[in-house]
Amino acid sequence: MSLPNDFLWGFATAAYQIEGAVEQDGRGATIWDTFCKQPGKIADGSSGVTACDSYNRTAEDISLLKSLGATAYRFSLSWARIIPLGGRDDPINQAGLDHYVTFVDNLLRAGITPFVTLLHWDVPDELDRRYGGLLNTSEFGLDFAHYARVCFQAMPKVKHWCTFNEPWCSTVLGYNVGQFAPGRSSDRSRSAEGDGKTEPWITAHTLLVAHGRAVRIYREDFKSVQGGEIGIVLNGDAVFPWDPLDPADVMACERKLEFTIAWFADPIYKGDYPTSMRKQLGCRLPIFSEEEKALVYGSNDFYGMNHYTSNYIKHKPGTPDPEDVAGHLDILFYNKKGYCIGEETQSPWLRPCALGFRDLMVWISKRYEYPKIYVTENGTSIKRENDLPREKILEDDLRVRYYEEYVRAMATAVSLDGVDVQGYFAWSLMDNFEWAEGYETRFGVCYVDYENGQKRVPKRSARCLRPLFDGLIREV
């Protein structure tokens, strides 16, 4: 097992989860600021108002990254900090833009390569109020393209750009389940507005077209001079059939991957949505116009892969529920023989299974003709970690094992399966605001003491990655 000698590794974070300072230096409101103010939406009633205070601690965070040996850092920009109202005709907030320009410069000065995500779920609230945000494909796409251009122009030293993080979460959790901002759902106990039968497919289309617009701008006006690359970041869980001898379960596994990953990746790499989705959804799944197809098809310089867990998949008989977003199947942790896929964690959706990680990288590689992959997120929570005494939190044995097994599975995929992985980012650099779970769940390799000034303290997992990668990355 080995990894290329120029392999990059480090940690990942997101603006709303760590920055805080939500009203500092002219930042505008985001849909998450608004969502968090609604009673019952966040498990502990919290928000990202302070979070890890990273907006005011960039020097400290860079020093932490350097001490852990990271060669790269993936973080997101706050659109509302750069253009507070978000629109293409709205004023730019120079203080917010300057903050990120300086941060990029300081990362590079420390020998850390920045990977910058333009939008990690925190859409400016004014765009949601003004025209429905992601529900308006044309307006949102034009506003996002303008925002992207502003960032490309201001940060020419950035060589690795990501347009969107996990559009599946934005669309399904934000417009079907109602668990994420803006919290729309057909379930009127969750939301007064929304149609989970149609809105996920509309908003996904919006994100794909907006991604294509931003990529075209970068390629036509910046790439040749700046020499960078750009792509989208997609999440996806690995799958195994509940009954491997049942062809219907085997087919359901493929359908699950298509409804989660290929939903976004197929239009980029193949030119259209998967046939299985078109068959189940019919006219609810948008049709790409010729102009949209030209924007989206071929619009990845790399594949950003977020991955955490695996599931057993069992087919369902009968007719799909109109609200179904998974492909008419059951998603399980136990198979027909009663075997459990992995150890329980704090996150109800996450159980470690490193074998699935390797399998999924191979599936992505084969389906999309072996693209360059960056593993842009990978990590785990630990059951009841937040309730443990500090000394126990710092000895996060499960997370250490998780990284050891997953990184080695990745190296095996590179060495034996021909998968082209060129970078890896552990989620996350530090404990932070974990969206609907608030601060009840910790994913960080560094403990954050929220009660005492957001002090960061490395856990054992923070120290395990440098020797792990040192042993795997080939010397020149």
Q: For tokens 């964690």, what's the residue?
A: 345
Structure-block tokens of residue 387: 């309730």
Closest listed residue to residue 202, CA positions, set 233, 237, 232, 171: 171
CA 327 from centroid of its chain's CA atoms: 21
- Residue 434 is among the residues annotated as catalytic for this protein: no
Structure-block tokens of residue 400: 């250490």
Q: Report yes or no: 59 and 65 within 8 Å, Cβ to Cβ.
A: no
Identified catalytic residue from 19, 377, 385, 437:
377
How far apart (Å, rounded) are the C-alpha atoms in residues 421 and 4?
9
How far apart (Å, rounded) are the C-alpha atoms in residues 287 and 272?
8
Burial of 89: CB neighbours in 10 Å, binned 0-12, 13-18, 19+: exposed
Give 193's DSSP letter.
S
Q: Beta strand pairing status for 329-332 and 310-315?
A: antiparallel
Q: Report yes or no: 176 and 185 within 8 Å, Cβ to Cβ.
A: yes
Half-sphere exposure of 394 (CA within 13 A, CB side): 8
Identified catalytic residue from 19, 126, 166, 437:
166
Q: Beta strand pairing status for 113-119 and 160-165?
A: parallel
Q: Report yes or no: 151 and 163 within 8 Å, Cβ to Cβ.
A: no
In the chain the first and final C-alpha atoms are separated, in Å, by 16
Closest listed residue to residue 426, CA positions, set 49, 115, 102: 115
Q: Which residues contact 242 (CB under 8 A, 6 or more apart)?
A: 249, 312, 313, 314, 330, 332, 335, 336
How far apart (Å, rounded) are the C-alpha atoms in residues 46 and 437?
9
Closest listed residue to residue 266, CA positions, set 295, 245, 296: 296
Give, in order, the Cα–Cα distances in Å from 347 to each of 79, 303, 308, 334, 382: 28, 25, 11, 16, 8
- Bridge partners (DSSP) listed for residue 322: none
Residues assigned a catalytic role? 166, 377
